[in-house]
């Protein structure tokens, strides 16, 4: 059992943030840790993320909030997404923090923060109120300095080269 | 099935290179791809990497070469490691490339390259001779420019903050 939980951030414009979090989940599962994964702005039904079914089968609890994002879904309401994100934070505080998870992944939460669906002070409150033994992983590009200050580990994943740049499309089994 | 395999590199001094590769394996498994993982300079018996048992159970073929590295094991022979790495490259070319894998991860191979156990032109030959449909993931800090040129995707994982810097030790379920 991990004694004191740390806060980990994977940010930056390169590929590897979510997969680094998923890899860390697998590593933690190998040591029988109890894990919860919560995503923001991802719709598994629409995109068919290959990893989620496997994580579920391995015993990871999975929840998806604010599944849409204006980048992929024009005309979606700001207020609706903000409410969805508020629901997510309430759920984490009232339900998830009460259970004895060792690791909680908040995938793409940085996007919700960057785009104003989650306010900075609300996320800071969440980090301050987490159970001591719980480790957190936050992913998504554009993480802000105040959250970085609170974190124990921050990796910036920089894009040096990406196949999208030469017009290649997202590949099944690699991008989703 | 992925049609044309791409070459992916995770390099840089930050945490997340191996876990990004492991996450990508999980994603690919979710689409029923066939995967082989080969590590360099990692001794699972010594370090107990949590992810390997789970990957094995999920059907990933796993091989570990040149398990030691002078950084952790003083007095180990350069020649011995070079021979081990040569064996690995031969094995990949003669055995792995003959099987119908969709994805081959060469974890920490960049270290073997950086430290001279694998010569640049040998790795370039390997990349040139891979089956067309096979995707490759190469991880490890310090990837050299000539290999980066050959790759389709390169992410540099930069350390912004790491708990080791304030004296915290590697954590079970997180670092290994």
Q: Is residue B29 part of a domain?
A: yes
Evaluate whether ipTM surpasses 0.85. Answer: yes
- The CATH number of whichever domain residue A100 belongs to comes to 3.40.50.300
CB-CB under 8 Å, B148 with A160 = yes
Rounded to the nearest integer, the mean pLDDT of chain A is: 92
Listed range (A37-46, A52-61, A164-173, B22-31) with the worst mean pLDDT: A164-173
- Flag whether residue A57 sits within 8 Å of chain B, measured between CB atoms: no
Can you say whether the dihedral through the CA atoms of A72, A145, A8, A158 is positive or negative? positive
The domain of B29 spans: 7-156
Q: Is residue B108 part of a domain?
A: yes
Which DSSP symbol is given to B19? H
Q: Is residue A145 part of a domain?
A: yes
pLDDT (tens digit per residue) in B77-132: 899 999 999 999 999 999 999 999 999 999 999 999 999 999 999 999 999 999 99
Q: Is residue A36 part of a domain?
A: yes
Best of A3, A12, A27, A135 to disrupt the B interface (most B CBs within 10 Å) is: A27
**Complete DSSP assignment for B60-87:** -EEEEES---TTTSTT--HHHHHHHHHH
Q: Is residue B103 part of a domain?
A: yes
B94 token code pair = 């003669």
Q: Is residue A174 part of a domain?
A: no
Residues of A in contact with B59 (CB under 8 A): none
CB-CB under 8 Å, A16 with B10 = yes
Percent of chain A with pLDDT over 70: 99
- Split into its structural domains, chain B has a count of 1
Q: Is residue A103 part of a domain?
A: yes
Q: Is residue A175 part of a domain?
A: no
Best of A28, A161, A172, A176 to disrupt the B interface (most B CBs within 10 Å) is: A161
Residue A143: pLDDT over 70: yes
pTM, full prediction = 0.93
Residues of A in contact with B55 (CB under 8 A): 26
Please tell me the distance from the alpha carbon of residue B25 to that of residue B14, in angstroms, as a whole number. 20
pLDDT (tens digit per residue) in B23-70: 999 999 999 999 999 999 998 887 777 899 999 999 999 999 999 888
CB-CB under 8 Å, A171 with B2 = yes
Listed range (A51-55, A109-113, A170-174) with the worst mean pLDDT: A170-174
């Amino acid at each position: 059992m991990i004694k004191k939980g740390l806060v980990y951030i994977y940010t930056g414009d390169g590929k590897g943030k979510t997969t680094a979090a998923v890899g860390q989940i697998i590593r933690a599962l190998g040591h029988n840790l109890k894990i919860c994964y919560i995503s923001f702005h991802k719709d598994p039904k629409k995109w068919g993320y290959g990893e989620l079914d496997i994580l579920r089968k391995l015993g990871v609890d999975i929840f998806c909030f604010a599944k849409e994002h204006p980048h992929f879904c024009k005309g979606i309401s700001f207020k609706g997404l903000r409410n969805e994100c508020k629901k997510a934070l309430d759920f984490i505080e009232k339900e998830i923090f009460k259970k004895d998870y060792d690791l909680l992944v908040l995938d793409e939460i940085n996007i919700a923060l960057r785009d104003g669906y989650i306010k900075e002070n609300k996320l800071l409150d969440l980090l301050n109120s987490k159970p001591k033994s719980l480790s957190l992983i936050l992913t998504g590009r554009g993480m802000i300095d105040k959250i970085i200050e609170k974190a124990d580990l921050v990796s910036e994943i920089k894009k040096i080269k990406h196949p999208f740049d030469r017009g290649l499309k997202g590949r099944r089994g690699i991008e989703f």
